[in-house]
Each structure stands twice: as C-alpha cells, then as structure tokens.
Amino acid sequence: MVELIGNKKINLAVFISGKGSNFYALAKSSMLKKSKFKINLVISNNRKAKGLIFAKKFKIKKKILNFKNKNYTENKIIKLLSKDKIDLICLAGFMKILSKNFIKRFKGKIMNIHPSLLPKYKGLNVHERVIKNKEKYSGCTVHFVSSKLDSGKIILQKKVKVLKNDTPKSLAKKILKQEHLIYTKAIEKIYFNL
Ligand code: GRF
C-alpha cells in the first residue's frame, strides 16, 4: 500500500485515446461522496477521442497532446502533472507507449487496464486470440506500468467465462463491464488498503 498523509483524496490524471468508457466509469465513481479520488486532468493523444466528451460532462480539465516528439510531449506532461498535483496516472485505452524514462520517473504511480487475464494475452486483438484458442475463461487486469508492455505487477483481476457462442464483440462487452468495476477497486486497494 502507498502511504498517504492524512485523509486526503488522491488526484488522478487519466490518459485516453478512444471511447473512454473506463474514463467515464472512473469519473462517475469519483463523484460518489465516499470516493477516495478526484480526477484533475484527462490527457489524450487524439483530439477525436470520443471519451473527451466526458471531460466536459464532469468538468475535468482536458489536454490534447500530439506525441510526434515524445520527449517534448512527456516533458510537457510532467509539468502538467506537477501543476495539478497528480498522485496517480491511470491509462485507460491509451494507445501510445510511454518512454522508459517517463515510466521510471513515475514508478508505482502509473496503472493500466488490460482486457485479458495477464500475463496471458498481452498486446492487441486479445478477444480474437482468446476465442481462437478456445479459452474457457478470460477477464481483465489492472496492473502497474513497467517498461515492458502489459507486464508490470498485477494489482487486481476479474475472471469472466467465455461462452461457446461468444464473439470478440460480445466478449469485449462482457469484459468491459467488469473493467469499469475493477479500476476503482484497484486504486482503493493500493492507496487505501480497501
Ligand atoms: C479497454 O478494453 C481497455 O482494457 C483497453 O482498451 C479498452 C479501452 O476502452 N486498454 P475505453 O476507451 O475505456 O472504452
């Protein structure tokens, strides 16, 4: 567990590239009275990311950054994170790979959510591969980010049954529903021992 001073809420920055349904779930959960965190900032590398509409809905500051020059952009992010007193970065469908230096600097302070039972099925097109391999179970994982893709320490997982008639789409939908629940739980587990 991470030591917190006093009873303060932790400040999150969420990084997205697409639909942002996990961002939405985190934002919704942050609005609950009992919530242990607050989202101060959302960052997207994609100005067309659908999830950006939730920034407006929840009055969360948004920044759109193009990653053409990764070093320059990451330095900009570092300044933004410090300005907004961010304690934790939550990657949620963020499709850019952060540099080794950036990850090292925020060791233990970056989480990601992945739609498989890691260490199985790292990378993309997870559901297609799970179905092709006739797996009985799949699921989702919240993990710390390390410099190796989808390989950092696992924080929380949720198992989901793969049915005979599941398609990549139906499985993704089923798993996404669980993702929306476990991200909040994973944060509470690390910071509040809940
Ligand atoms: C989720 O399945 C997440 O696990 C993966 O990308 C997807 C993002 O979905 N990393 P959304 O943008 O949060 O709706």
pLDDT in tens, 112-139: 999 999 999 999 999 999 999 999 999 9
Report the pLDDT value the prediction gives residue 3, as an integer from 0 to 100.
62
Protein residues with CB under 6 Å of any ligand 1 atom:
16, 18-22, 51, 92-93, 113-115, 176, 179
Name the residue of 113, 121, 150 to mutate for ligand 1: max ligand atoms within 8 A of Cβ.
113
Given a contact cutoff of 8 angstroms between Cβ atoms, the answer to whether 72 and 45 are in contact is: no
Q: Which ligand 1 atom lies nearest to the CA of residue 179?
A: 4
H/E stretch holding 89 reads: strand 88-91
Q: pLDDT by residue (tens digit) across 56-91?
A: 999 999 999 999 999 999 999 999 999 999 999 999
The residues near 146 (Cβ < 8 Å, ≥ 6 apart) are 103, 152, 153
Report the pLDDT value the prediction gives residue 8, as an integer from 0 to 100.
83
193 pLDDT band, cuts 50/70/90, is confident
Residues identified as active-site: 114
Nearest CA residue ID for atom 6, ligand 1: 93
Q: What does pTM read for this prediction?
A: 0.96
pLDDT at 6 over 70: no
